[in-house]
Each structure stands twice: as C-alpha cells, then as structure tokens.
Amino acid sequence: MNSILVTGASSFLGYHVVKRLNAESIRPRVLEPHGADATVLDRLDVERCGGHLHDAESMRAACVGAIGIVSRLRRRPPPITRDVLQIVGRYAWYDTSKARAELGWTSRPLQETLHDTIAWLRQSPVV
C-alpha cells in the first residue's frame, strides 16, 4: 500500500494538511497517539495508526509501505526519507553468513537496532 504518513493530524495545521490531501483524493495514514482526543479526524478520510513518535515500534508499523512523511514537529525535515521507507517496505532478505564468518558480525534485537539507528540519525548533521 502506498500512502503518506501525517503526524500531528489532529492539530490545526495537521488537520488542514490532511484535508488538502483528501481534496486531492489521497487517503493518508495518520499516527494517532493513544489516549489523545482525535475526534477531529472523524471528519476526514484517514487510515489511523495508534502509536507515538517516540515509540520506535509504532513508528515502524506506521511507516511500512508509506512513500512520504508530512511532519510539523520541530520545524525540521522528517528524520526518515522516502528512500528509507521504500527499503523498509520491501522486507529485503539477505544472507549474513559472510559477515559472520569474516567480520564476526552478530545479530541484535530489532528494537535495539532501531533505537541505536534513530539516535545516530538524530545526532547526524545530515538529518
């Protein structure tokens, strides 16, 4: 599924972003924080994903299959690019036997890897 992920969709600006997307016949995916009053979203055509920006697992679930992110937070570009989302959405399979044998690589839990990757991206001057 190709869609656009909008965070902050229940805010004034986010609501109008989603309303504009709907006017263009686009049904965006919205990240809806658990327990938040998101009744304003009832007036819009959206796919709701429960979660929070600071929860790596809910962000991963919301981003898989998305082709873009519209975010108003921190007035910075989104930390995840369209290219990264396409890679995540492909579920590429690969063989790690050479990395294990030649480099001594070992796997880590996904949650730990995502946490470290997001921390690295936030510190990176590129993001």
CATH fold for the domain made of 3-93: Rossmann fold (3.40.50)
User: pLDDT value at position 1?
Assistant: 46
User: pLDDT value at position 42?
Assistant: 92
Cα torsion at 118, 119, 125, 127 (round to 10°)? 20
| Residue ranges of domains in the chain | 3-93
User: pLDDT value at position 55?
Assistant: 77
- How far from the centroid of its chain's Cα atoms is residue 58's Cα? 8
* Residues 100, 107: Cα–Cα separation, whole Å: 9
67 close to 21: Cβ distance less than 8 angstroms = no
**Residue-averaged pLDDT of the chain:** 77
The predicted model gives 19-25 an average pLDDT of 88
pLDDT tens by residue, 41-94: 899 999 998 888 777 777 777 777 665 666 554 556 666 666 776 666 665 556
The token pair that represents 38 in the structure block = 């998101």
Is 3 a residue whose pLDDT tops 50?
Answer: yes
Is 9 a residue whose pLDDT tops 70?
Answer: yes
User: pLDDT value at position 94?
Assistant: 64
pTM: 0.54
Percent share of the chain, pLDDT over 70? 72
